[in-house]
């Protein structure tokens, strides 16, 4: 029989625990495929964070370390500084990276740590049951913003890609989305570009992936994808925010 599709060797056979319709599975697959296609699975150490993706260490088919909440970029720094010839990536959600771990993210970026950060932004805390994140949109209802996020009470959302791209230590930063196939294909290219950036030793690379949370958004999977397109993309514009490759070509 002719093989028409094969699961990437970048992922293990372990069944994921993610909710139906959650886009973590798609993002995992893209990262796994990139690691496989680049032939770097055996030279990679991944860092799992705290949140829904904490068990990603059971899904990525490479050496994995689990970090304390928000500390993944610091843990990745420790690994990469000892093993500069290995590929080191973190996989973090928006609560982990943009709230409790914002200092570690900013300083890893400022130092130009030659690591790749996969930043999954779904504008909510998933694992703990749908609380407000720094990326929660104005007006968005969550368990801890039950009347909708109010700027005067809870402040305004953080645009991490824009913020980090102001730092000279960053080499490649792109925001992508998972709400339809063309965007997913773009997202994979961005992830590939980020790991290529690390391969070339250019410094800090990050791909911010807009993602869904049907369970905590209270929407079905299809509505969730529409919600990304209609609400998240306008607040978090897609595109390349930093591209050292382009600068190198000049």
Partner 1 sequence: MGKVLMKGNEVIAEAAVHAGCKYFFGYPITPQSELVAYMARRLPEVGGLFLQAESEVAAINMVYGAAGTGVRVMTSSSSPGFSLKQEGISYLVGAELPALIVNVVRGGPGLGNIQPAQSDYFQVTKGGGHGDYHTPVLAPSTLQEIIELTEAAFDIADRYRTPVILLGDGMLGQMMEPVEFKNLTERQPGEKDWTTTGTRGDGKPRIITSLELNADALEKRNEKLQHKFALIKQNEVRYETYEIEDADYIVTAYGTAARIAMNAINNARADGLKIGMIRPITLWPFPEQPFIETRDKVKGYISVEMSAGQMVEDVRLAVNGKAPVTFFGRTGGVVPTQEEIYEYIMKVAGGVEV
Q: Give residues in contact with partner 1 (CB under 8 A).
A: 12, 41-45, 47-48, 54-55, 57-58, 60-68, 71, 74-83, 86-87, 103-104, 106-107
Nearer to partner 1, 63 or 162 (CB): 63
Q: What is the DSSP letter of 57?
A: G
> Cβ of residue 212: shortest distance to partner 1, in angstroms?
24
- What six digits make up the tokens of 179? 């709400």
Torsion sign over Cα 56, 58, 64, 68:
positive
Nearer to partner 1, 8 or 12 (CB): 12
Name the nearest CA neighbour of 63 among 88, 38, 82: 88
Nearer to partner 1, 18 or 217 (CB): 18
**120: helix, strand or coil:** strand
- What six digits make up the tokens of 195? 């790991």
Q: Which residues pair with 176 in a beta bridge?
A: 209
d(CA 226, CA 241): 24
> Cβ of residue 225: shortest distance to partner 1, in angstroms?
29
Nearer to partner 1, 42 or 247 (CB): 42
> Cβ of residue 10: shortest distance to partner 1, in angstroms?
11
Q: Do strands 44-48 and 87-93 pair parallel, antiparallel, or not at all (unpaired)?
A: parallel
d(CA 172, CA 130): 30
> Cβ of residue 134: shortest distance to partner 1, in angstroms?
18
> Cβ of residue 135: shortest distance to partner 1, in angstroms?
22
Nearer to partner 1, 80 or 149 (CB): 80
């Amino acid at each position: 029989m002719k093989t028409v599709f094969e699961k990437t060797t970048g992922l293990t056979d372990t069944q994921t625990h993610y909710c139906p319709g959650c886009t973590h599975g798609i993002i995992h697959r893209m990262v796994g495929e990139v690691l496989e296609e680049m032939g770097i699975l055996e030279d990679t150490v991944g860092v799992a964070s705290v949140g829904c993706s904490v068990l990603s260490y059971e899904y990525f088919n490479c050496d994995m370390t689990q970090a304390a909440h928000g500390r993944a970029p610091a843990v990745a720094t420790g690994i990469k500084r000892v093993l500069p010839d290995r590929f080191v990536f973190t996989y973090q959600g928006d609560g982990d990276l943009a709230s409790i771990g914002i200092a570690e993210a900013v300083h890893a970026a400022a130092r130009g740590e030659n690591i790749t950060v996969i930043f999954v932004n779904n504008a909510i805390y998933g694992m703990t049951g749908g609380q407000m994140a720094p990326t929660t949109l104005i007006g968005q209802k969550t368990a801890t913003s039950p009347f909708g996020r109010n700027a005067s009470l809870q402040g305004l959302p953080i645009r991490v890609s824009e913020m980090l791209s102001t730092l000279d230590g960053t080499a490649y930063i792109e925001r992508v989305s998972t709400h339809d196939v063309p965007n997913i294909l773009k997202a994979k290219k961005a992830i590939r570009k980020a790991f290529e950036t690390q391969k070339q030793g250019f410094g800090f690379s990050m791909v911010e992936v807009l993602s869904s949370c049907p369970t905590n958004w209270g929407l079905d999977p299809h509505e969730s994808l529409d919600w990304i397109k209609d609400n998240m993309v306008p607040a978090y514009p897609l595109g390349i925010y930093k591209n050292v490759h382009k600068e190198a070509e000049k």
